[in-house]
Structure 1
Amino acid sequence: MIRALFRYFNHLRFNRKLFLSYLIVVIIPVSVLGAYAYWQSKTMLNMQMLQGLDKTVSTVSESMSRSTGQYNHLLRSMLFNGTFQKIVTNDYIDLVNLSRDLQSYLSPYVTMIANLDQDVEKVTVYAQGNVPEYGNLVQSAGRVREEWWYDEATEGTGSEIRWFYDGDIFATGTFPILFSPDRHFVYMRINEDSFFKPVSELTNEYGIVIVDQEHQILYGNYGEWGLAADDIAGLIDLQDSEILIDGKKFLLVSKQVEHAGWTIYCFVPIAQVASDADSIIRATLVIIGVCIITLLAMITIFSKTMLRRIHKLNSLMKRVEVGNTNIRISSDSKDEIGQLTNQFGHMLVRFNALIEESYRSKIKQQEAEMKALQWQINPHFLYNTLSFINWQALRNGAEDISQVVTAMARFYRTALNRGHNLITVRDELDNIMSYIEIVQVMSEYRFDVEYRFDEAVYEYSTINLILQPLAENAIKHGIKEKREGSGLLKVSARLVGETIVFDIEDNGPGMPPETADAILSMNSSGYGLKNVHERLQLLFGPSFGVSVHSKPGEGTLMRITCPQYRTGSN
């Protein structure tokens, strides 16, 4: 699949590739930014909703804590009242005093509580022992001994306040145990509707559930949100977070109610938050669409402007392709396309120069080969003639003539090389030794020769007839010009790195450095140094050839450097 996409993309025209690339580059970041903006907005809405829930639950918790605190205060005011403690402990000599305290203290106090807080529906003191009952104000604890909440209400050693719910909301508080070993307590029932009225007023936009310490639901409007009591069981002991109830996601916040030990859970559907985010999505999509349309228009204008210059460059390249290389190509632009245009123009100029240089080199090569051919004569006629001269010399006892003729035959055999341009280094060295031997005989051995050949050079090949012109120049312009002392010619061949170095050195008068530098560009009537230098560079490259090193009075060193070349190698 990926290969098919790459293949399809590679086959598209450049303008479509450019447009598609820009489109992808634009859509991806804009879409990512849009999605990020939506996610951030939704997260902020969730945080705001959580903050709203938390504030609401805190308000409800504080309201209920104040209410339960007030009721706890009322209960404790009774529990620590000395007269009420005396009543429940039955610390009386006669019933007259008990009746007086009940009518004068307990009954008015309870009536006062009911008048001050109309939500208090009932206040009853449950006493153990022999305390006589007094209407609903004082009753025997035996009446409620079988109730589920009785044991918990009478637990403890002090005046603990406990809250209960059995369809009604009520609180109990025990008298301090130091006044009596029996457990006497006060029972206070609160009107449920009035108690939870502030809760319903503050949470009409949210779902709310209030549970006691036993996880019993005291209050809840979850039915308005399509939830059942079994669904609410999943809320218990959860922390503030996103929760899942009956397949729906909710935001949940919980708080504790002081004094009563209850827990308030407040929740709201996340779908309600998401509905508020729909407007953000629509606005984000509109902004993304406007940005994409604007950018597409800009991309179209930009791509057409750039492609126009590319088409122009392509047209010029086609003209060059059909052979019109004499056109001038340049651009004033400093961008990459302008640089490419200028580089192509420079390349075309260089290309034309290389063609001209190649043409001239070909002519030079042909001239050099023509000059080399001038040295090649019919080998059979030459060898037969030299053999006849050698035979006549030996018959007449002219051994010196025979020596010269033999050396000349050996020289021409290697020089002609059967018409081949390449020769082994061994044969080229034999050729130069034959030539020097002939010259020595002809000059009556007026100079000496030293040969130093590294046998490792014999396995390589080189161009034919490159050492003889150097030896001829050394003898003619070096040794013969020497005024004092014996002449000495040194010929050496050795391997240096990846090259073969041939040195021909004389102890003649030498020459100035400027003359040595110019000698390779001088034309000669014969097969001279310039021709040798050009042949070497034509075959092996500009880094090889002939070099001349000389100073007046110090002789001259002519050096040939060529690669370690084998016949048949590249």
Structure 2
Amino acid sequence: MKKIKQKINDIRLQNKLVIIYVVTGLIPLIVLFVFAYCQMRNILMDRDLKSIKGTIEQSVTTVDGQIEVYDNLSNYITFNDTLSGVLSYDYKSTYEMYNQIVTTFDPMLSSLKYFHNDINRVTIYVDKAIKHDTTIAPIEEIKDRPFYNSAAESTKIQWFVDEDSRTLVSARKMSTLDQLGILGIMYIDVDYDSMMSSFTGGLEQNCGMVVLDADGKVICSSDTFENNNTRYRLNSKKLLSLIDGAEWDNDTCGNTEGYSVVKKESSVTGWTVYVYEPRKLVLRSANSMITMIVVAFVVAVAGAAAASIFTTGFITRRINKLKNSMAKVENGDFDAVINTQDKDEIGDLIHSFNSMTTQIKNLITQVYEGRISQKESEMRALRAQINPHFLYNSLSLINWKAIEYEQEDISEITLALSNYYRTSLNKGKNILSFEQELSNMQSYLKIQQIMHDNSFDVVINVSEEVMPCESLNLILQPLVENAIDHGIDLLTDRKGVITVEAKMQTDEEGKKLVCVTVSDNGVGMDKETAQNFLTVQSKGYGARNVNDRIRLYYGESYHLEVQSIPDEGTTITIKFPAKPYNTKN
């Protein structure tokens, strides 16, 4: 024992320092780099799952909105007494029947396809009916179709989807005809590819998707695997066997035989969407990080060995600096940098460490460069949720009524207004001038005043200097819609007034801002409701979406402000930078 101790004491200090540093420093470095890698891997997986979950939720919301529109159309036709009268009337001649079908029946059904391009066909199948174009057909034509028995027994709207034949149809028994003792089935054929593109179009790279109906039948499947990654593709049967009995954390299954799976069930259709992603492909982006860590580790050890030639105090002082910086990196601070002008071995080690943290930070940035576009997608998704169906359905109703009463001039005006509204969507652009945004809001208020028999007044006070400023599209309409639905419509003791004001302001830093307020003298809100108005606890999403879009586009410091007093009214204020509108935006 004494001999061993003596041999250790006889080792030169330089070599002894090298041995001590390697023994005491090598293990912490390994632990640090392994910990850093594990942390980065977990961050990659968590953020990827959140991205997939956001995409799938938006896809389901979009499809639900489309299905609800077609359900509303089906309800309108099914309970329309005019159409039922045409089909059930005892005509004296074929000419009289044909005249009623052409002048009344055909225009009403054809207008559905005009306003909704995704509809392939609208047909009413009636027992012992004549065959006329695609609008009327004898019920014998569909008695061998899979949906016939179910549709003939219930007036409830039922959707039938077949992936193999790529069909998506709605069928139901018409209650108005059923009351007259006539069997009639309302049939709407919707374009399968257009509807399912909401699921398949937003699918991220190297992911697969399967959609099941309420009975567990596969109605849509797709994937985005390419080249050598196609071996990770799962067929519907394999995916369902993997998730059978899997443990779910809410709507997420983190690791099912090497796959991460996210699901979302629609409350409208009962369909369930499953999206899966191989974990290996997600973690493949971290391979370069592993190489960099190994290289940095080798450099650190070499630098430590070279630094041992200096005095213990000099080495210890600089090693402590390095150790403190490593502790910051371990806590996730990759901006930790050691300032030094030394060019010796320890100086090289310090420079290598600085280079390592910079490379780690750059690698993280590179890995998530693809995620930067996520905010833009979220913004477009939020804009997509601002449902234009109000005007479409209003125009459709006006057009149908005009045709029903043979008011061709009103029908023409309605169709012209429909064309104007399509143009007012700004060709899909998110930016327009404030003057255009104000004009769109005024058009909306004009229709609302007509629908409400001018039961409320509108006051608009807008400064001319804000007119040429740029504005996000559709930020005023949701606010005035909210003022009408939740404020003005609930008044019983006074006439409602909506006031819209816009003027230029200057903030504390001297920057010019556009300040817009939308006020109403409605029933107002209590303090708790006002506080939750822009949060997920709110029942509506119009104002919340406007708030989210402004924050996403202009930054977190810009958002909606809500002030409300019960029984007195509500005021919503918007502030955003005053920038001149560029037509190239």
What TM-score do the two structures reach when normalised by structure 1? 0.45
What TM-score do the two structures reach when normalised by structure 2? 0.44
Rg: which structure is higher? 1
